[in-house]
Amino acid sequence: MGLVSLLHLPHHDGSPLYVSDEAPALGETVVVRVRTSASDPVDAIWLRTTYDAEPVFHATTTSTEGDVVWWAAELPVHNPVTHYRFLVVRGDQQEWLTGAGPVAHDVPDGADFRLAAYPAAPDWGRDGVVYQVFPDRFARSAAADDRALPDWALAAEWDDEVAFEGTDPRTPMQLFGGDLDGITEHLDHIERVGADILYTTPVFPGESNHRYNATTFTEVDPLLGGDEAYDRLSTAVHQRGWRILGDLTTNHTGDTHEWFLSASDDPAGPHRTYYYFNDDGTYACWMGHGTLPKINHTDPDLRAAMVEGPDSVVGRWLRKPFDVDGWRIDVANMTGRLGPIDVAHDVARAARATAADLREDPWVIGEHNHDATGDVDGDGWHGTMNYSGFSWPVWSWVRDPASPARPFGRPVPVPRRGGAAVVETFRAWQGTLGWRATANSWNILGSHDSARIRTVVGGDTAVHRVAVGLQFTLPGVPMVFAGDEIGLEGVNGEDARRTMPWHRSDEWDTATMATYADLARLRRSHPALRRGGLRWAHVDDDTIAHLREHPQGSVLVVARRAGGASFTLPLAGATHLFGSEPGGGDLLAGPDGLEVPSSDGPRVDVWSVGPE
């Protein structure tokens, strides 16, 4: 297709320009619209929805605004999750318009648009920027020096290298001594980065530095300062008008957890059914790791203890003194699933309902490193850690071929791909996850489980900033792993858990940190970057340009992983808002449209734009 024609394609998404209500009640009617161009004539468009799984077609009405033709139809919200698509007719040619884009052949319903008749995720989550902290490696307070280490721990100095090679037994045992008061003391830094949601990995006691093998869910690890330190952190976060998220593993406990010890000691005891024990005393565990016994969510007592009601783990931490505003649920994809057993959505529904009963606007995000389809459609997780729909495609576009970084769970690095393949990947995942779930999922360039983005791009600071540009301007919520903003490196998840070099700030990449801060401010000040639709404007191997549309103003983003030629878009004048590198300026429309200038290297630019 021609370069300009991308903006002339039939388009629909879940944003305000196209859907009158993204969170309707069951039984309501929503107006949905398709946009086409007079330069790409269309004879008719039909809305198709599935009424109790039976396809039903609704006619559309048209209106014209200059070159734009709008096709509107009334969509009855008959099912809790209402699926729909559009049939576009041109003479004897037909194509479907789905969440994954237009397609000229019949396709299954998996990528249909959808509306969920459940309350939307809270505004503070969708509008915010998340900052992830791995407590042991972020900052030490003075109090940490006086704490005795447990027998399992191997004391490490703050500048020691992280043990991460292969199956090094020291890896989970190295304790650098970061604590919660250390985080509280550095909230100003998080503010400078532009974040307003603090997410920490688990703070429960556990015989490891990562604490995903909890020994109890009733208290904060004394090594982190205990309950009092968490109260201080939570209070300080809320005093700034921010939010704080906890991290809970609902799939397993540690093998030294009080429930598991009770279950092991007494086969007839009340905790035995909390786990999956075999007749010979063996038990199900996470991925073969015996230290992580799997929880049995078919047991009503376990569900009450873990996810259901105010006295469950989920409920208790939403109240003071911890006062978390929501949860990131670890291994959400496996929770409640074991062989023929699948109560995963029941668990998600219970956790979200418990949170909603206790807080006015909680946020519950489920970890998936692959396909969260079906788990984020309705009344379960509000969104996912969107590795497959965001992280891996971005990595494949910006990755240095020589980089050793690879996504976790994959035996080889992601391939380096051109812009067209990357955009098709974005479309596919947006289609299968749905607009609302995509908008509430996390745009991640790296985390405590993956390589660092700086290592992915081979240390290229300019390309790193291009990736950040996509992170902050595509639909989804940016999640920044502490240290990415200053250029920390790491070849895998364990290596990525390096300590923050507070005492070596002269080594920080302050230009990249400024990019994070500038884009956070830009995102906060332009509704289009938080709530706007998404249309692809121009794509080639080294350039991805997209338009975020909103009734309060639209924004054009041009990201280049390498230098490239100029190109023209059918847009009016554009006011320059941001450039990741020197240069850039306002653009004037000529007789052929808006000319985006060439670039001699990687950069990302953002403009506010007028109507087409």
Segment 61-78, tens digit of pLDDT? 999 999 999 999 999 999
Asked whether residue 2 carries a pLDDT value surpassing 70, the answer given is: no
pLDDT at residue 462 in the model: 98
Mean of the pLDDT values across residues 194-200? 98
Type of residue numbered 230: Y
Task: Kindly state the percentage of the chain with pLDDT values over 90.
Answer: 93
- Tell me which of 87 and 368 has the higher pLDDT: 87
407 and 466 housed in the same domain: yes
325 and 458 housed in the same domain: yes
Mean of the pLDDT values across residues 224-251? 98
The DSSP secondary structure of 302-344, one letter per residue, reads: HHHHHTSSTTSHHHHTTSTTT--SEEEEETTTTTTEETTEE-H
405 and 503 housed in the same domain: yes
Asked whether residue 406 carries a pLDDT value surpassing 90, the answer given is: no
Asked whether residue 168 carries a pLDDT value surpassing 90, the answer given is: no
597 and 483 housed in the same domain: no
377 and 351 housed in the same domain: yes
In a domain, 18, yes or no: no
pLDDT at residue 43 in the model: 97
196 and 338 housed in the same domain: yes
How many domains is the chain partitioned into structurally?
4
459 and 548 housed in the same domain: no
Query: Which residue intervals of 532-572 are DSSP H helices?
Result: none
346 and 258 housed in the same domain: no
Both structure tokens of 574? 């554009």
In a domain, 454, yes or no: yes
CATH number of the domain bearing residue 34: 2.60.40.10
The residues that bridge with 589 in the sheet, in sequence order, are 594
Mean of the pLDDT values across residues 27-32? 98
**Average pLDDT over the chain, rounded to an integer:** 96
Q: 0.85 cut: is pTM over it?
A: yes
CATH number of the domain bearing residue 594: 2.60.40.1180
β-pairing verdict for 197-200 and 174-175: unpaired
pLDDT at residue 562 in the model: 98
Return all residues near 151 (Cβ < 8 A) that are at least 6 apart.
none
Centre a 10 Å sphere on the Cβ of residue 417 and count the other Cβ atoms it contains: 16
Domain range enclosing 496 = 131-250+298-528
Q: How far apart are CA 72 and CA 74, in angstroms?
A: 7
pLDDT at residue 5 in the model: 62
Mean of the pLDDT values across residues 417-439? 96
Mean of the pLDDT values across residues 157-168? 90
Q: How confident is the model at residue 430 (pLDDT cuts 50, 70, 90)?
A: very high
Q: How far apart are CA 156 and CA 140, in angstroms?
A: 12
Mean of the pLDDT values across residues 377-394? 94
In a domain, 125, yes or no: no
496 and 518 housed in the same domain: yes
Of 528, 553, 578, which marks where a domain is finished? 528
In a domain, 11, yes or no: no
pLDDT at residue 569 in the model: 94
Asked whether residue 1 carries a pLDDT value surpassing 60, the answer given is: no
Q: How far apart are CA 205 and CA 254, in angstroms?
A: 10
In a domain, 3, yes or no: no
Asked whether residue 299 carries a pLDDT value surpassing 60, the answer given is: yes
β-pairing verdict for 44-51 and 54-59: antiparallel
pLDDT at residue 153 in the model: 96
pLDDT at residue 315 in the model: 98
571 and 454 housed in the same domain: no
Whether the Cβ atoms of residue 156 and residue 175 lie closer than 8 Å to each other: yes
440 and 582 housed in the same domain: no
Of 199-208, 287-296, 374-383, 551-560, the least confident: 374-383
200 and 264 housed in the same domain: no
In a domain, 544, yes or no: yes
Handedness of CA 181, 186, 187, 190 (dihedral sign): negative
Angle at 364 between CA 233 and CA 344, to 5 degrees: 135
Asked whether residue 30 carries a pLDDT value surpassing 60, the answer given is: yes
Q: How confident is the model at residue 612 (pLDDT cuts 50, 70, 90)?
A: low
Q: How far apart are CA 511 and CA 528, in angstroms?
A: 25
pLDDT at residue 409 in the model: 84
Whether the Cβ atoms of residue 45 and residue 61 lie closer than 8 Å to each other: no
pLDDT at residue 532 in the model: 97
Q: How far apart are CA 182 and CA 56, in angstroms?
A: 58
Element (H, E) at 231: helix 226-239
Asked whether residue 4 carries a pLDDT value surpassing 80, the answer given is: no
Of 294, 317, 348, which marks where a domain is finished? 294
Of 135-144, 371-380, 467-476, 505-514, the least confident: 371-380
Asked whether residue 202 carries a pLDDT value surpassing 90, the answer given is: yes
- pLDDT, one tens digit per residue, over 342-363 is 999 999 999 999 999 999 999 9
Residue with tokens 């469950």: 312
pLDDT at residue 3 in the model: 37
Asked whether residue 417 carries a pLDDT value surpassing 80, the answer given is: yes
Mean of the pLDDT values across residues 301-323? 97
CATH number of the domain bearing residue 260: 3.90.400.10
- pLDDT, one tens digit per residue, over 449-461 is 999 999 999 999 9
Of 116, 151, 167, which marks where a domain is finished? 116
Q: How confident is the model at residue 167 (pLDDT cuts 50, 70, 90)?
A: confident
